[in-house]
Structure 1
Amino acid sequence: MVTFSNSGTASPAPSAFSLSMSGSPDSISTPDTSRSLMFDDDISADPLDIAGPNSPFIMVVGGLGYIGSHTVLELLKENYNVLVVDDLSNSYESVLHRIKALATEHFATLNKSMPALHFRQLDYRSPHMRSVLASYTSYTIASKLDASVPVETIPNALPRGFPFATLQRTDSGIDMDTDEPSDAVLRRESRISGVIHFAAYKSVEESIRMPLKYYSNNVCGMVDFLSLLEEFGIKNFVFSSSATVYGEGANCGLPLREELCVHHPESFFDNEGVERRMLPGVMGLTSPYGRSKFMCESILADIARSDPTWSITALRYFNPVGCHESGILGEDPRQKPSNLIPVIATVLTGAKPVLDIFGTDWDTPDGTAVRDFIHVVDLARGHIAALAASAAGRIKAPFRTYNLGTGRGHTVREVLNSLEETAGRSIPVREVGRRAGDVGFCVAEVQRAETELTWRAEKTLADCSVDVWNFTRARFSSSSSPSVIFSVISASKRSNQSRPPRWAQQSNNRVLHIEPVREGAMQPEGRGFDNSFGVGCAFERELAWCFVSRSRHPHVLCILPLST
């Protein structure tokens, strides 16, 4: 066997013929201009070599957003290698460092090494996604007479722009010196064993104002992405769907069953034991966002029906809340938040004077809307359960939908009361009219997920409130509280590295949180080891990295200025 990189150099090996397309993908397809970052010891090493010779990856697109980031962390904790793709349009690269820090701490307690974590800053619709997938793909070339090898003819099966001239004659006599088709056949194998798709836009209100933006990204983008995945033989797909696909069915006042929204005719027995036959379609989809999710589910159902080798799971989220219990990871979008919990957090910190309650005349106990609030960590674990169920063959259909919720409803006022009790302060509110696209009642029936995925939500609304308040306090104190202390190990070292140097990571103090200083973050003076050091206004262009240890208040161990 001879193994090739894109440079064309070959190294002998003992068996069939293997071609590893795992170097820089620039010569495979269009030049890859995306930002690439790997958190392993050798930052320049090949991603496949770092993870091990046969280690698979789960690719998470939109993996630095609210739900995506928590899912990436849970994947790592379950020993999955993870490739994160995110364009940072509504998230921060610092989230990646928080995930890394929390995962490192988790595996340190187990005395184990954490799995590989790779990152590409890229829009999932970008043509450069082809290069990313190619860099996680290997090819085995063998004789057409070898019936044991699944075959594709050369050269059509190779990536576009593949440099045929770099291939050498092999010891088995297969001639690949020219661009002409030969007697060889090709087996392509992707190291990406599954994809979780979080890269959709998600604001109901914005979708009403900007429907083309939502249909372009959520629907058209997904179609092109699926075509690319199919080309690389990646057919294990977990889709981030929403309870909005139930439309006006959410107003029935009963928990919503998956069978109430189907994409091909389906029969089931209702709670009274009466057989009901459902036809495709749904009434009362009230926003382009909800319609985009329904369209995507329909497309996925059609793909799976036409090609049962796909394994597609659509997870219908209800209302994600909460954050990681450390207070380090939570909902922190670049864009103006519209979900209830982050808006409440801005009121609690004083950044927003009052909370608007949209609709107080719903047919509910206190007039405010009822929602099924699920802790984001439970939701993240639902994705791992879906991957595990698919791998174990417990999901019998090539396309299957699941509700991810608690099965319990809470009104908006109940959520407010819970957060007020946790924070020990009142939240000023203003009652306003209903928003376009809102429904009064939306609660999940969760039996299917519990039975087939062996998953159920474990955390309570009180847990959500505690974790949100911890996250809110951590953000507030780290950006504006006078209790923040800077202890500077070195303010003179210059660093233009994409990650902190080893000496900083190996401080005697345990590192919990790593992230760049945000531009404009006002910080007070702190005391160094032997002298005072005034930080003043810390701009990202001046200060590159902060290392924060676990303590009552964030405590910076090191500040590295950017090179000038």
Structure 2
Amino acid sequence: MKILVTGGLGFIGSHTVVELQNEGFEVVIIDDLSNSSMDVLEGITAITGVKPHFEQLDLKDRSKVEDFFATHKDIAGIIHFAASKAVGESVQNPLKYYENNINTLVYILKELGKLQQQNFIFSSSCTVYGQADELPITENAPVKPAESPYGNTKQIGEEIIRDTCKVNPELKGIALRYFNPIGAHPTAEIGELPKGVPQNLVPFITQTAMGLREQLSVFGDDYPTEDGTCVRDYIHVVDLAKAHVVALQRLLQGKNKSNYEVFNLGTGKGSSVLEAIQSFEKVSGQQLNYKIADRRAGDVIAAYADTDKANDVLGWRTELTLDDAMASAWKWEQKIRRK
């Protein structure tokens, strides 16, 4: 079966392509290379022994999207990652985020509606919950007003898919709400490679340990948590990638209970920023240079998933630990800096 992965050279997308190819799917990747590199395609090929079909395409160009689908009518499912994803940048440049994350979704869904098989997996986020009233966070937790245009595009994206599923019974959609993906493939052939200053904790940790960053700032140690630092649910990217394959197979096999479903993807365990640092120091043997800084605007205190629905209904659960993720991220960082 031919599966389209948009943003398939990105961090989560590339790991998902690997897992799809491991399960025997034929993968077509669309990526505009705005936040990725052709080296990733080589990494995927090195891991799986199969080079996926790749097309460099800007999904904001509607006519090119139409042309692509006209030549790929046999697509059995789409996993849609392609989106801008830096919270801070979205605050500075909201129109870029609304154009890139919303328009492209609409164009893809319009073309998907013309296909024989209409299976769609959407890359969503736990940002839709904001600071949840109760922990752990279930899929029934209220969706709060977004803290950023990025978060808002994930909320709007889910609404667009849900509304489209209501009027098109042929369309089957699953929104996967990720918590905090970290780590790299154990082969160190692919991993997280942010352009410029990292927006996420783990690449900042590994770059600081490599000496690329002078110091890591821990934003706030006066939160109402066990050690005063923010708590997050850090999920290994390989576990996350495997969930996409399980969700896709659920749709292909007609096991979905309705034509629009939502699942949280996390470990179910919250780890503080200091615990994440300690995990890295343990597996790497490196002492990390970090300092406590002022709180950062927009940070929620704590967020971790209730994974019962993903475990019981989707039939997926995590297998890898925080230490596993940190070890793989460190192995990846060391490899890319040796190039």
Shorter-normalised TM range: over 0.9
DSSP-derived class of the 1:471 partner: helix
Q: What residue in structure 2 maps to residue 192 of structure 1?
A: 75
Q: What residue in structure 1 maps to residue 39 of structure 2?
A: 94
Q: Which of 124, 135, 138 is residue 71 of structure 2 equivalent to?
A: 135
Conserved? CA contact 1:357–1:432, under 8 Å: yes
RMSD between aligned alpha carbons? 1.3
Letter of the aligned partner of 2:139 in structure 1? E
Conserved? CA contact 1:394–1:452, under 8 Å: no
Distance 2:197 2:266 in 1: 25
Q: What residue in structure 2 maps to residue 405 of structure 1?
A: 266
**Offset, 1:62:** 0.3
Conserved? CA contact 1:65–1:333, under 8 Å: no
Q: What residue in structure 2 maps to residue 79 of structure 1?
A: 24
Distance 2:43 2:93 in 1: 32
**Offset, 1:358:** 1.5
Q: Is 1:254 the equivalent of 2:135?
A: yes
Distance 1:60-1:295 versus aligned 2 partners, 3 A rule: same
Letter of the aligned partner of 2:26 in structure 1? N
DSSP-derived class of the 1:308 partner: coil
Distance 2:37 2:175 in 1: 26
Distance 2:336 2:134 in 1: 38
DSSP-derived class of the 1:238 partner: strand
Q: Is 1:207 the equivalent of 2:90?
A: yes
**Offset, 1:392:** 2.1
Q: Which of 457, 460, 466 is residue 321 of structure 2 equivalent to?
A: 460
| Superposition pairs of residues 112-123 of structure 1, within 5 angstroms | 114=50, 117-123=52-58
Distance 1:120 1:413 in 2: 41
Q: Is 1:124 the equivalent of 2:59?
A: yes
Conserved? CA contact 1:449–1:456, under 8 Å: yes
Letter of the aligned partner of 2:40 in structure 1? V
**Offset, 1:313:** 0.4
Q: Which of 308, 320, 327 is residue 447 of structure 1 equivalent to?
A: 308
| Superposition pairs of residues 367-516 of structure 1, within 5 angstroms | 367-478=228-339
**Offset, 1:344:** 1.0
How many equivalent residue pairs?
A: 338
Letter of the aligned partner of 2:52 in structure 1? L
Q: Which of 184, 202, 207 is residue 323 of structure 1 equivalent to?
A: 184
Conserved? CA contact 1:422–1:466, under 8 Å: yes
Distance 2:32 2:321 in 1: 32
Q: For structure 2, which runs of at least 5 residues remain unmatched after alignment?
A: none
Q: Is 1:365 the equivalent of 2:226?
A: yes
Q: What residue in structure 2 maps to residue 498 of structure 1?
A: none
**Offset, 1:341:** 0.7
Letter of the aligned partner of 1:355 in structure 2? L
Structure with more helix by fraction: 2
Distance 1:361 1:206 in 2: 26
Q: Which structure ranks higher in relative contact order (CA pairs < 8 Å, sequence separation ≥ 6)? A: 2
Q: Which of 282, 291, 309 is residue 152 of structure 2 equivalent to?
A: 291
Q: Which of 161, 170, 173 is residue 309 of structure 1 equivalent to?
A: 170
**Offset, 1:284:** 3.9
Structure with more strand by fraction: 1
Q: What residue in structure 2 maps to residue 538 of structure 1?
A: none
**How big is each residue's C-alpha offset from its partner over 1:506-527, in whole Å with a ceiling of 9 and x where there is no partner?**
xxxxxxxxxxxxxxxxxxxxxx
Q: What residue in structure 1 maps to residue 13 of structure 2?
A: 68
Distance 1:222 1:433 in 2: 37
Distance 2:13 2:44 in 1: 11
DSSP-derived class of the 2:123 partner: strand
Distance 1:135 1:283 in 2: 40
